[in-house]
Amino acid sequence: MADKVIIFDTTLRDGEQSPGISLDVSEKLEIAEELARLGVDYIEAGFPIASQGDFEGVQAIAGSVKGPVICGLSRTARSDIDRAWEAIEPAEKTRIHVFIATSPTHMEHKLRMTPEQVRREAGAAVAHARQYTADVEFSPEDASRSDFDFMCQVLQEAVDNGATTLNIPDTVGFAVPSEFAERIRRIRQKVSGDYTISAHCHNDLGLAVANSLAAVSAGARQVECTVNGIGERAGNAALEEIVMALDTRADYFGEGLTTSINTEELARASRIVSRLTGYPVQYNKAVVGRNAFAHESGIHQHGVLSERTTYEIMDPSVVGQGESKIVLGKHSGRHAFADTLEKMGIPIHGEALNAAFARFKELADRKVQLTEADLEAIVAEEIGGEFEHAYELSAVEAHGGTALSPNATVALRRNGEVLEAHASGDGMIDAACTAIKELTGMNGRLTDYNVTSVTGGVDALADVTLQYTSEDGLKVSGRGLSTDVVEASARAFLNAINKVARLRASGEDPDAIRRPGSLRGL
């Protein structure tokens, strides 16, 4: 046992005390079953005296969940202890967790008891609990703000009356790691007997996990924690962070120091707890967050694609997160862009890749994250990238409204020269196309126009396809893509006009030109 850190999960007790969380019996059972699959050693299933619903939840878990020890929390009142035992009695393995506050402020303002009364009450309560089960845990509430010598007197009283685990709670998240570790070490020196030291840390200063790990380094062999770090106020120490810190930094904590946790269940446990409690998991949450193994920076993406360990200290599959995620956005580089297309079955190279990447970077400045559907559309739009275009869209500006005549200003680039024209029309799209006609001297007509959304959301890409017939009878299609439907339309129209210009210059058969949207030949 000296080489094992016991994981005491209090998601269903301290975690459920988070404001706004109220789990019914079936929800508690679902979480408890997942905690058993996860491999926790103890499930603190609730505070049976708190309510009838809490009692029934603890009793249901005790009667059906196999594997972990089922624990019920209790104050030192005998009726509390009796009720806790009644709730957990059906379990294969049981523990009663008894607590009483030992800090001056709690004793004076909450308990209204003298230190001597608190000491005697702790011993009597542990002795009463031992009549029901040999596994009794005792906690001096608000331990980190308690007088150390007095707290140790109370702990000794608990051990002398049969407590087998002494839990040291940093109830209000007041401790700092070095201080908390020293307190754990000194307890072992001052309190005699055969017991396990435990740590229960809150996150008011963001130090719950750090304090818990400091306690382990100082000799604690049980850690009380919750999935996703939920709990009162700023929450508790996060189970997944503690477990993976011990696993990943075995070089620091000790190669033989293990837990019983099946780490591949961590992500699923996180999702279940989040879904049933209604508490979302922050995107950048360590280990189980959506972005824990996601990379957008081009430098990071290149590193991870070359060797995962360049920017990942954990394998995402080990915690149930699947594989590393390459997120394509404005910070992404060409390497990640090409690799993503390759995995999508669209291996493009050379000038086609350059054109598609340039378009991707342009769109990424407007849309936070581009999906695979977006990438397919971008590549389809740039499929003719190996051809030299007669005209390139430099800028488009359009105005319209119920009290304003629709108009547009379009700037095109040709042979390094920028050409600009202003036109009005029936709508902003018509105005933009009219301006393009003026700049290119082509006066054909649109025979078909269609706009679709590539993906959902307010930042979705507009995918415009159209059919254009030139004044001399050439029929071509055009395609354009943008988060702005006017710009997408202008791009599609210009794409068609460039095809006409190319056909006129080369005498090509229009059917020989690859159709926009087709990925054949990529």
How big is the chain by its Cα radius of gyration, in Å?
33
Rounded distance, CA 26 to CA 37, Å? 17
Burial 86-99 (b: 16+ CB within 10 A, else e): bbbeebebbbbbbb
Q: Which two tokens stand for residue 399?
A: 């105005």
Rounded distance, CA 371 to CA 138, Å? 53
Residue 91 shares a structural domain with residue 191 = yes
Q: Reduce the secondary structure of 378-440 to three states and give it as a string.
A: HHHHCCCCCCCCCCEEEEEEEEEECCEEEEEEEEEEECCEEEEEEEECCCHHHHHHHHHHHHH
Residue 335 shares a structural domain with residue 191 = no
Residue 114 shares a structural domain with residue 223 = yes
Rounded distance, CA 384 to CA 168, Å? 68
**198 within 8 A of 168, measured Cβ to Cβ:** yes
Domain count, the chain: 3
Residue 31 shares a structural domain with residue 83 = yes
Residue 246 shares a structural domain with residue 376 = no
The answer to whether position 287 is within a domain reads: no
| Domain endpoint, select from 225, 251, 277 | 277
Q: What CATH number does residue 397 fall under? A: 3.30.160.270
Element (H, E) at 60: helix 52-64
Rounded distance, CA 508 to CA 505, Å? 8
Q: Which two tokens stand for residue 192?
A: 């005699």
**133 within 8 A of 94, measured Cβ to Cβ:** yes
Q: How many Cα atoms are found within 13 Å in the side-chain-facing hemisphere of 133?
A: 26
Residue 82 shares a structural domain with residue 131 = yes
The answer to whether position 387 is within a domain reads: no
Q: Nearest 5°: phi and psi at 406? A: -60, 135
Q: How many Cα atoms are found within 13 Å in the side-chain-facing hemisphere of 490?
A: 29
Structural domain harbouring 506: 392-512
- Collect all residues with Cβ–Cβ distance below 8 Å to 312 and sequence separation of at least 6: 293, 304, 324
The answer to whether position 413 is within a domain reads: yes
Residue 26 shares a structural domain with residue 166 = yes
Residue 11 shares a structural domain with residue 103 = yes
Q: Is the pTM of this model over 0.95?
A: no
Separation of CA 58 from chain center: 29
First to last CA, the chain: 60
Tens digit of pLDDT at every position of the chain (522 positions):
458 999 999 999 999 999 889 899 999 999 999 999 999 999 999 999 999 999 999 999 999 999 999 999 999 999 999 999 999 999 999 999 999 999 999 999 999 999 999 999 999 999 999 999 999 999 999 999 999 999 999 999 999 999 999 999 999 999 999 999 999 999 999 999 999 999 999 999 999 999 999 999 999 999 999 999 999 999 999 999 999 999 999 999 988 899 999 999 999 999 999 989 999 899 899 999 988 888 767 778 778 778 888 888 899 899 999 887 766 667 777 777 888 777 766 777 777 788 888 877 777 776 666 666 667 667 766 654 445 568 889 999 999 988 889 999 999 998 889 999 999 999 999 999 999 999 999 988 888 898 887 766 666 778 888 888 888 888 877 878 888 899 989 988 998 888 888 777 766 554 443 333 333 222
Rounded distance, CA 425 to CA 521, Å? 38
**419 within 8 A of 412, measured Cβ to Cβ:** yes
